[in-house]
């Protein structure tokens, strides 16, 4: 890791102190005292400045590398690759030695821009653009994203490396063909579960706060992958589009009964495990996967009454949520309906924007009845 671990621990402690202050659990003097005792030299700007610095970094690197590329384009393919390698190496050196070591940038946006662009340069310098083997590209990308994660604890790189790993494995099984292709979902499900258990093991032994978000990201991705590899819709549609499976009427995908079971029971299992072990992660994914399974069911077996289904589902959800809210008036079985700690994104202004962009789906005429998109979707129109 390129950062000093001790300093990073202190930095995290300061963040926690700020969160406790915003939750109203400690007062300003207490927060200042904690900040005084745990000093760090790190420079971490607000999210807006982070985004701007990232943009500046990308623009800066591309502005400088453009003329350099032109200058060395006479040297043929090898000359260009050597040049790209030197530029990439220089960018990484600038990032590690000057920005991080001397200027103490930490998650400043600029560090991310430089580490990504530098490694992209080196990546293409090493492989060139027209290599035959796709595995060379995949494996080197996997290696690079893993290195970026380990070196900078970059969560985006962590997610990318997990997905690349799965994609590489998918390619291997796909190229082996035959039975191996049919086994892909089952292998993926088993693998996701094993990885989840492994991460959980490591997490319980680990006390450092530095990696806590890495664990959350890792666990979330594996839970989603476990569900997705067993979801009937995903398996069926991917079998058709990627593996060229052609289904006649009345035919079904291999092992289809298994996928009926997994589509139904994985969400329920998540939800039950979440409630039993009081794991908010499992509860969240239980709800999400249950909704996805419901949509899957509706996709293949429609009752021809979409309006009624939507309205009844809405009424059911309102009733369910109000029921639980009333049930949890006081703490029961360790669950509470109250907010325990402050979350930065949970502000009135932010939710007002989200709600105003999603709510208000009153139909104006019959023709936009099935155009969809009236609920859900939306999002904050780039105001932040």
How near is the Cβ of 304 to another protein at its closest, in Å?
12
User: For another protein, which residue of 33, 77, 175, 344 counts as binding (CB under 8 A)?
Assistant: 33
9 binds another protein (CB under 8 A): yes
Which range in 18-26, 122-130, 176-184, 219-227 contacts another protein by CB under 8 A?
A: 18-26
CA distances from 210 to 153, 218, 221 (A): 9, 14, 19
Distance CA 22, CA 360 (A): 32
Q: How far is the CB of 57 from another protein (least distance, A)?
A: 9
204 binds another protein (CB under 8 A): no
Q: What CA–CA distance (Å, rounded) separates 82 from 170?
A: 33
Is 182 in contact with 254 (CB distance < 8 Å)? yes
Q: What gap in Å lies between CA 37 and CA 14, rounded to an integer?
A: 9
Any idea what DSSP says for residue 43? B
182 vs 374 by CB, closer to another protein = 374
Window 299 to 358, contacts with another protein (CB under 8 A): 307-308, 310-322, 324-325, 328, 331, 334-341, 343, 346, 348-349, 351-353, 355-358
> Could you tell me which residues come within 8 angstroms of residue 224 by beta carbon, excluding any fewer than 6 positions away?
285
Binding mask 233-272 for another protein (x = CB under 8 A): ----------------------------------------
According to CB under 8 A, which residues from 51 to 80 bind another protein?
Answer: 52-53, 55-56, 59-60, 62-63
* Exposure string for 126-140, b = 16+ CB within 10 A, e = fewer: eeeeeeeeeeeebeb
Residue 90 makes contact with another protein by CB under 8 A: no
Backbone angles phi, psi at 39, to 5 degrees: -80, 140
Shortest Å, Cβ 361 to another protein: 4
Other residues' Cβ atoms within 10 Å of the Cβ of residue 313: 13
**# chain residues binding another protein, by CB under 8 A:** 91
CA distance 135 to 241: 21
Q: According to CB under 8 A, which one of 125, 283, 289, 292 is a site residue for another protein?
A: 283
Residue from 1, 25, 136, 243 binding another protein (CB under 8 A): 25
């Amino acid at each position: 890791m390129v950062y000093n671990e001790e300093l990073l621990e202190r930095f995290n402690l300061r963040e926690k102190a700020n969160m406790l202050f915003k939750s109203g659990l400690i007062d300003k003097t207490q927060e200042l005292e904690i900040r005084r005792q745990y000093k760090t030299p790190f420079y971490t700007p607000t999210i807006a400045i982070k985004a701007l610095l990232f943009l500046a970094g990308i623009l800066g690197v591309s502005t400088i590398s453009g003329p350099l590329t032109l200058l060395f384009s006479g040297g043929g393919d090898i000359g260009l690759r050597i040049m790209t390698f030197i530029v990439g190496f220089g960018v990484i050196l600038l990032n590690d030695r000057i920005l991080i070591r001397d200027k103490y940038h930490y998650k400043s946006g600029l560090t991310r821009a430089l580490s990504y662009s530098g490694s992209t340069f080196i990546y293409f310098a090493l492989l060139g653009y027209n290599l035959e083997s796709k595995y060379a590209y995949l494996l080197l990308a996997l290696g690079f994203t893993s290195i970026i994660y380990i070196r900078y604890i970059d969560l985006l790189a962590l997610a990318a490396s997990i997905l690349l790993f799965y994609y590489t494995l998918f390619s291997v099984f796909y190229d082996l063909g035959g039975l191996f292709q049919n086994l892909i979902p089952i292998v993926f499900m088993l693998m996701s579960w094993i990885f989840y258990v492994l991460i959980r093991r490591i997490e319980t032994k680990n006390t450092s706060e530095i990696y806590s978000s890495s664990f959350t990201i890792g666990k979330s991705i594996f839970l989603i992958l476990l569900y997705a590899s067993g979801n009937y819709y995903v398996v069926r549609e991917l079998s058709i589009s990627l593996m060229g499976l052609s289904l006649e009427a009345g035919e079904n995908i291999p092992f289809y009964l298994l996928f009926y079971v997994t589509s139904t029971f994985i969400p329920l299992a998540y939800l039950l495990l979440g409630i039993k072990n009081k794991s908010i992660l499992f509860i969240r994914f239980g709800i999400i996967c249950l909704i996805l399974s419901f949509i899957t069911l509706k996709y293949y077996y429609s009752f021809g009454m979409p309006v009624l289904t939507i309205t009844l589902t809405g009424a059911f959800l309102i009733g369910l949520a109000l029921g639980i809210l009333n049930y949890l008036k006081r703490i029961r079985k360790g669950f509470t309906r109250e907010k325990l700690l402050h979350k930065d994104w949970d502000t009135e202004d932010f939710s007002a924007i989200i709600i105003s962009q999603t709510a208000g789906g009153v139909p104006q005429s019959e023709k936009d009845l099935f155009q969809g998109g009236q609920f859900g979707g939306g999002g904050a129109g780039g105001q932040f």
